[in-house]
Amino acid sequence: MRNNILSIVIPVYNEEDNIPVLYERLSEVLKGLEVDYEIVFVDDGSSDSSWEIIRELHKKDNSVRAIKFSRNFGHQIAITSGIDNAIGDAVITMDADLQDPPEVIPKLVDKWKAGYEVVYAVRERREGENFLKRGFAWLFYRVLKKITKIDIPSDVGDFRLLSRKVVEELKKLKEHYRFVRGLSSWIGFKQTGVQFVRDARFKGKPKYSFWKSLRLALNGIVSFSIAPLQLASYMGFIVSIFSFLYAIWAIIARFALNRAIPGWTSIIVVVLFLGGVQLLTLGIIGEYIGRTYGEIKRRPLYVIDKKLGYDIKEEM
């Protein structure tokens, strides 16, 4: 009877300085587990020597497999591709910058062996991140938890273990604007978390700028909640009430009190306020319409240029 197979999925984008150290630490941890394993690197259109380093690792270690995209498709899509191609009874997704310590993997595996289908790593502390980024992350997870109807754990990233049962369900979800940590929660099944300290990036610059993090947060909110649309409706209703009350006051002031409402300043303020509310509402609606437009085109999530370790002709 064969051992369980564990797949480690690692999205890579310009991580040439981190891959060798990650591979050494990861290999040491995996060899200590009583499982067979594969390490799946997904090169998301790197412009440095990441692919060459991965290729050399594959030549000396047949447990290393790799996928190279034709261009950069994004972090969440790279994770999706790795999950799609993983063969393990359980799949662990983690980043290549060593902020997700490989030494936490045995804790994830222990929970899986105890019967859990999803085991997510909860960030007890975040090293090497400024106050603004930590504060934004803290606020985002709590807002998301408040406005969605599913239980998306707070302070949890993409470092998690997914059982084969969950992977097969996840592969059925083909939406383009992906928020993988939300999708794995939406699927359900028995889930739990293990706490860990998220390390600072080992080398190189973070790939998620503030604006990219904001876009990911927006994907999470729009993908799992219609609260922004409801907020737009509430704002329109409130503004209408205030406008109606202001109109009544203007009539009373003119005919009952014989006093005109002064000046153009108040008119300009009201017009600008209403214009801002209208533009905000249109922007919220536009986000949902844009995502609908993106989905109905039915384009593939990603395009693969090369593969290593799979049953196709490999690059030599």
What's the pLDDT score for residue 1? 39
What's the pLDDT score for residue 194? 87
Cβ atoms of 19 and 96 within 8 Å: the answer is yes
> Distance between CA 158 and CA 198 in Å, rounded?
12
What's the pLDDT score for residue 162? 94
Which of 38, 37, 46 lies closest to 12, judged by CA?
46
Angle between helices 210-224 and 227-251 (to 10 degrees): 90
DSSP-assigned beta bridge partners for residue 64: 39
> Distance between CA 177 and CA 296 in Å, rounded?
12
Cβ atoms of 290 and 219 within 8 Å: the answer is no
> Distance between CA 298 and CA 102 in Å, rounded?
36
> Distance between CA 91 and CA 5 in Å, rounded?
9
Cβ atoms of 54 and 308 within 8 Å: the answer is yes
DSSP string, 17-64: TTHHHHHHHHHHHHHTSSSEEEEEEEE-S-SSSHHHHHHHHHHH-TTE
Which of 207, 234, 232, 238 lies closest to 287, judged by CA?
232
User: What are the CA-CA distances from residue 25 to residues 20, 22, 123, 246 (Å)?
Assistant: 9, 5, 20, 67
Below-50 pLDDT ranges, the chain:
1, 313, 316
> Distance between CA 51 and CA 219 in Å, rounded?
29
Residue 197: Cβ-neighbour burial (10 angstroms; 0-12, 13-18, 19+): exposed
What's the pLDDT score for residue 12? 92
What's the pLDDT score for residue 9? 94
**Strand, coil or helix: what is 172?**
coil
Helix H, strand E, coil C: the string for 249-273 is: HHHHHHHHCCCCCCCCHHHHHHHHH
197: left (phi over 0), alpha (psi -120 to 50) or beta: beta
What's the pLDDT score for residue 121? 87
Cβ atoms of 155 and 129 within 8 Å: the answer is no
Q: Nearest 10 degrees: CA dihedral of 25, 166, 143, 79?
A: 50
Cβ neighbours of 99 (radius 10 Å): 21
CA–centroid distance for 169 within its chain: 18
pTM: 0.72
